[in-house]
Amino acid sequence: MVIITNANEDDLNEIYAIELESFENPYPYSLLRAYYFLAGDLFLVAKDEKGKVLGYSLGVIQYGYRGHVVSIAVKKTERKRGVGSMLLMQLESKFRLKGCSHSYLEVNYRNRAGISFYNKLGYKVVKLQLNYYGRNQHAFIMVKDLLDRIGFE
């Protein structure tokens, strides 16, 4: 069983462990903690029935109308079981409820798994942002319309 719920401050150690195993340049613990206070109910965790953290998603709303997926990661041993999809879809629901028309994110242009994941969830590449993560570390900007419109009317 997987439960998606709001993150607690007590979850931060497990979230940080997932962050460390998931990214080449992980966010420092202090930044995750700052986001915990900043993001409010847009910091979500997936837990198993024993309360163990399986993954997290983190978002913020910008200018009142667009949701930014700041980060999402699933514990290595729990991937490819739908946990990431649940975390992202729940974050998108919250964006929608709070009035966002679309959701967007940056992903390392070499992160094939991440790009496939976002594609599957309906995100489209709209731009290549050169050197976004550092020298020669480019990012794709990917966008999803949250109102099921075909284009951006």
**Footprint of ligand COA (CB under 6 A):** 22, 71-74, 79-85, 107, 111, 113-114, 116-117, 120
Q: Which is nearer to ligand COA, 12 or 15 (CB)?
A: 15
Q: Work out how close the CB of 37 gets to ligand COA at its nearest, in angstroms, rounded to a whole number.
A: 21
Q: Measured between alpha carbons, how far is residue 82 from residues 4, 20, 50, 97 in Å?
A: 12, 21, 18, 23
Q: Work out how close the CB of 65 gets to ligand COA at its nearest, in angstroms, rounded to a whole number.
A: 22
Q: Which is nearer to ligand COA, 85 or 129 (CB)?
A: 85
Nearest residue (beta carbon) to ligand COA: 84
Q: Work out how close the CB of 36 gets to ligand COA at its nearest, in angstroms, rounded to a whole number.
A: 18
The DSSP result for 28-60, as a single string, is PHHHHHHHHHHHGGGEEEEE-TT--EEEEEEEE
Q: Which is nearer to ligand COA, 77 or 136 (CB)?
A: 77
Q: Work out how close the CB of 112 gets to ligand COA at its nearest, in angstroms, rounded to a whole number.
A: 6
User: Rounded distance, CA 139 to CA 148, Å?
Assistant: 25
Cα dihedral: 24, 29, 32, 37 (round 10): -170
The SS3 call for residue 107 is strand
